[in-house]
Amino acid sequence: MPTTPATAANNSSTGAAEAIMLELVDENGTTLGTAEKLAAHQAPGQLHRAFSVFLFDEQGRLLLQRRALGKYHSPGVWSNTCCGHPYPGEAPFAAAARRTYEELGLSPSLLAEAGTVRYNHPDPASGLVEQEFNHLFVGMAQDQLRPDPEEVGETAFVTAGELAERHAGSPFSAWFMTVLDAARPAIRELTGPGAGW
């Protein structure tokens, strides 16, 4: 992983795991402070900065990922291409590009901002809460995928119709439809009217 000031502050040179810190924000997305990742997600949840990425192939199909079974939050469920949290002080755009590469071995093409959405989604299975101010990004997936098996269990490119079928029959992350619906205007602009998004 490339080292940046943000990642250097969040990596340990001793091999001991350091706490991952998230950026706490107010309802307008203004930074208020930091909290440890797990603590921020414990009920009732602390509002923090996050991002969601939606990448498409040249046929206008959305790249989904099924989260690895070993993840402590929402394991084994399908979700958007990539989602996560910027390190404190890290720009959401940089975090989105970094994390997409870390999880999928893919550098997005034409990555563009697609607005923000604020939500509060409890996860009944884990008892954790997604209390997030989420920055949305859309772009293209034009390179070969090399998923990290510790992060990603499976990937799939789906049309809008295939997504509807899959969503009806498979478990998805609690936040998936909220972030997808919020990103739809930018998705339509990227994929064109014929893709059906």
- The yes-or-no answer on residue 132 being catalytic is yes
Beta bridge partners of residue 180, listed in sequence order = none
Q: Phi first, then psi: what are they for 160, rounded to 5°? A: -60, -40
Both structure tokens of 173: 């992350």
Q: Phi first, then psi: what are they for 87, rounded to 5°? A: -65, 155
Both structure tokens of 135: 């920055």
Q: Which of 23, 83, 90, 130 is catalytic?
A: 83
- The yes-or-no answer on residue 83 being catalytic is yes
Q: Which of 23, 103, 130, 132 is catalytic?
A: 132
Q: Are 78 and 171 in contact (CB under 8 A)?
A: yes
24: left (phi over 0), alpha (psi -120 to 50) or beta: beta
Q: How far apart are CA 187 and CA 62, in angstroms?
A: 10
Closest CA to 121 of 113, 129, 110: 129
Return all residues near 27 (Cβ < 8 A) that are at least 6 apart. 47, 118, 133
Running DSSP on this structure, what letter comes out for residue 81? S
Residues identified as active-site: 83, 132
